[in-house]
Amino acid sequence: MKKEVPHSGWRLKLHEVIYGTHTTAGKVFDIVLLVVIVYSIIIVMLESVPRIDVKYHAFLNISEWIVTILFTIEYILRIICINRPSKYIFSFFGVIDLLSTIPKYLSYLVVGSQYIVAFRALRLLRVFRILKLVRFVGESNNLLRALRASRTKIFVFVFFVLIISVLLGTIMYLVEGPEHGFNSIPHSVYWTIVTLTTVGYGDISPETGFGQVIATLIMIIGYGIIAVPTGIVSAEYSAQRKKGQVTPPKLADGEACTDCGSEVLRADAKYCRKCGHKLSEK
């Protein structure tokens, strides 16, 4: 049985500020948060540049501490102001938020752990909510459906590409051999994928005549088969677009479920689409 604790006044308010975007305070909170996220990513990037780190180490270190503390407070507040925190903690954004917060603490315990900050980039996905990009997402629903419909076909395609790469990579290893930079089969398969996807670094390139003939073949295959995923996505998207020409539902203006913190997408929703909690009437 669900416990339906009515929110106390301050928690409801906090919830509106942190999870909602339909009040002024909510909007300000989200914009400030976005700025802090971008700032935190820039700090991490700059810390990795030796020239800059040497010069501004103290400043960057303090900045990092400030960001970490802000993220910690935000994380705690997010947990406090909903009824069922576990729903948030184990949601996609909950995990990302935690991973964005802890690296500074962990860096004193585990060497190299400060690099989990990489996941902070994923926090930027929140920008879609903040900039009212819910509308955008709504618009790209057809696209998402098309991608989902294409999924198995593209998986099969990638699998074929990998099998072909192992086959052609082994052949190239035999033809060129270690004396021309194709040191081993895995290395040779790597080169094949570099060529097949038309990336072409040039760190290794065939030197024998026969090797260049095979390379040519691989390039033309790669050039040709890129048509396959594109063709799939085009056709599926085109089909979804035709199907999807019904009036899109009216969107909610930035509320969130008070129980699990999930966003409310449709204006006419009566229950949270994630946890089934009854939403408050407006």
Residues 96-125 that bind its own copies (CB under 8 A): 112, 115, 117-119, 121-122, 124-125
Q: Which of 163, 210, 273, 278 binds its own copies (CB under 8 A)?
A: 163
Largest CA distance in the chain: 78
**Which residues have CB under 8 Å from 185's CB, separation 6+?**
169, 170, 173
3-state secondary structure of 236: helix
Q: Among candidates 5, 66, 91, 27, which has minimal Cα distance to 275?
A: 91
Q: Among candidates 66, 90, 67, which has minimal Cα distance to 78?
A: 90
* By CB under 8 A, residue 31 contacts its own copies: no
DSSP states of 137-156: HHHTHHHHHHHHHHHHHHHH
Give the x/- contact pattern for its own copies in 227-266, rule: CB under 8 A.
Answer: xxxxxxxxxxxxx-x-------------------------
Taking contact as CB under 8 A, which single stretch among the options 16-24, 77-85, 138-146, 257-265 is the one that binds its own copies?
A: 138-146
Give the x/- contact pattern for its own copies in 63-102, rule: CB under 8 A.
Answer: ----------------------------------------
At residue 143, what are phi and psi to the nearest 5 degrees?
-60, -45
Q: Which C-beta is closer to its own copies: that of 65 or that of 128? A: 128
- The tokens for 69 are 């503390």
Q: Which of 173, 255, 258, 263 binds its own copies (CB under 8 A)?
A: 173
- The tokens for 83 are 């009824």
Q: Which of 72, 187, 265, 279 binds its own copies (CB under 8 A)?
A: 187
Please give the C-alpha separations between residue 263 and each of 10, 15, 173, 257, in angstroms, as whole numbers. 20, 12, 53, 6
Q: Which C-beta is closer to its own copies: that of 86 or that of 238? A: 238
Please give the C-alpha separations between residue 58 and each of 39, 65, 117, in angstroms, as whole numbers. 16, 11, 19
Q: Which C-beta is closer to its own copies: that of 57 or that of 278? A: 57
Taking contact as CB under 8 A, which single stretch among the options 15-23, 26-34, 70-78, 150-158 is the one that binds its own copies?
A: 150-158
The count of residues interacting with its own copies (CB under 8 A) is: 87
* By CB under 8 A, residue 201 contacts its own copies: yes
CB of 49 to its own copies, least distance (A): 4
* By CB under 8 A, residue 153 contacts its own copies: yes
